[in-house]
Amino acid sequence: MLDLLIQNATLPDGRRQMSVAVREGKIVEVAAGLIAAAQDTVDAQGFLLSPPFVDAHFHMDATLSYGLPRVNQSGTLLEGIALWGELKPLLTQEALMERALTYCDWAVAKGLLAIRSHVDTSDPSLLAVDALLAVKKQVAPYIDLQLVAFPQDGVLRSPGGLENLKRALDKGVDVVGGIPHFERTMSDGALSVKLLCELAAQRGLLVDMHCDESDDPLSRHVETLAFETQRLGLQGRATGSHLTSMHSMDNYYVSKLIPLMMEAQLQVVSNPLVNITLQGRHDTYPKRRGMTRVPELLAAGINVAFGHDDVMDPWYSLGSGDMLEVAHMGLHVAQMTSQAAMRQCFDAVTTSAAKVMHLKGYGLEVGCDASFVLLQARDPVEAIRLRANRLKVWKKGTLLAETVEVVAKLHVQGRPEAVQFVSNREN
């Protein structure tokens, strides 16, 4: 007897009328038209069944704080960092946890079941670290929350920065972060990358740095990150987040840089919603988009994920935990409009992001966790087009969230009464 049998689903690889069988939280069979006894049988009606969404880059300690203590007037990254500095002394563990838990509720409803969140380690109290470690424990049954020790004020620039970061790791934070472009000088930035990569190598941890989140084409810390990654044998274990300066770099230099990144098996996270709003703010016209070179990195064989980065915080006033909105923006900003490229944008918020996080048991193969999202869409491209409704969300075979099918009721004479926005069903 199965615990759950989902029938008549379309899978992201295009297979239709597929059944997925679940026992004890794991996928035990994936086959066309499977009929078997199950505690619970769900007719997917030909809709898309995907592994859950994954956000490879987020700031859960700041989320839902929009307007506290004031809004970001200039809309720039630097005012956002200053504003976060004004908010930090006012934070309480209770309020921070409450906001983070509310965001996790939104995430579950949106089928977002794995999040890598940076957590600011600059404050010696490590209040945000303690709060997010408690949240991580609380949400563990339904969200994989991975934490990155992030020295927002600069690991060398802020007093005690490195010590505080190490203490955060001692407390159980998973990944070593950094922000080399925010250190005082280029050489301090490079030194911070070296120190932090050495720390990760010593402790056997992954690395994920905010790197070159700047429009300055000479912000080249990604080169040092690639170098230290290969020097220390961290291949495949380090991620460069943002890399927006690559947008503005000289093409010749990039033709040298990308092979170095490839050699280090560096992973990349781009944050389209936030990059398109924060970058190019010092430009008049033409205005740079500022997002890193996603199609070129993918063409070189580098794994690229998209992150949400911020939701309603000092840097970004919008968002709802919808990774399809992130993919939609990434597709537009990078002009990834071919069928294959649009599919890559879906991967960037699912499988590619899972790879950045080194998630285990992720996917739709036999033996993987039975964690899924059923989308009111026929395929991944349509899911992005519609930012599709999440009909059902399961974690390890347990139903976590449902949203009713969206159907508009028309009152137009001679026209159908019910309108969905999905393409014609074949089933």
Neighbours of 170 (CB within 10 A): 11
Q: Residues 213, 228, 325, 382: which is the catalytic one? A: 213
Nearest to 258 by CA among 218, 211, 298: 298
Residue 247's closest CA among 341, 332, 334? 334
Is 296 part of the annotated catalytic residue set? Answer: no
Spatial CA neighbour of 324 closest among 353, 355, 297, 299: 353
Count of chain residues binding Fe ion (CB under 5 A): 1
Q: What does the per-residue mask of binding to Fe ion show for 194-223, with x meaning CB under 5 A?
A: ------------------------------
Cβ 238 to Fe ion shortest distance, Å: 16
Among 309, 313, 322, 382, binds Fe ion (CB under 5 A): 309
Strand, coil or helix: 18: strand
Is 322 near Fe ion (CB under 5 A)?
Answer: no
One DSSP character per residue, 26-73 reads EEEEEEET----EEEEEE-TT-EEEPPEEEEEE-TTTTT-TTSS---S
CB of 281 to Fe ion, least distance (A): 16
Omega cis (within 30) before 151: no
Residues paired with residue 222 on neighbouring β-strands, in sequence order = none
- For residue 187, the minimal CB distance to Fe ion (Å) is 23
Tokens 């063409």 identify what position? 299
CB of 210 to Fe ion, least distance (A): 5
Stretch that binds Fe ion, among 86-94, 303-311, 352-360, 389-397 (CB under 5 A): 303-311
Q: Rounded to whole angstroms, how far apart are CA atoms 187 and 221? A: 9
Mark residues 54-93: x for contact with Fe ion by CB under 5 A, - for none. ----------------------------------------
Taking the least distance from each CB to Fe ion, the nearer of 153 and 309 is 309
* Bond prior to 286 in cis (omega within 30° of 0): yes
CB of 150 to Fe ion, least distance (A): 8
Nearer CB in complex with Fe ion: 131/243: 243
Tell me the three state secondary structure of residue 124.
Answer: coil
User: Of 103-111, 181-189, 306-314, 393-401, which part binds Fe ion (CB under 5 A)?
Assistant: 306-314
Please, which residue, 116 or 343, has the CB nearer to Fe ion?
A: 116
Instruction: State in angstroms the smallest separation of the CB of 57 from Fe ion.
Output: 6
Pick the piece of the chain touching Fe ion (CB under 5 A) from 129-137, 166-174, 302-310, 372-380.
Answer: 302-310
DSSP string over 187-239: HHHHHHHHHHHHHHHHHT-EEEEEE--SS-TT--HHHHHHHHHHHTT-TTSEE
List, by residue number, the catalytic residues.
213
The site for Fe ion (CB under 5 A) is made up of 309
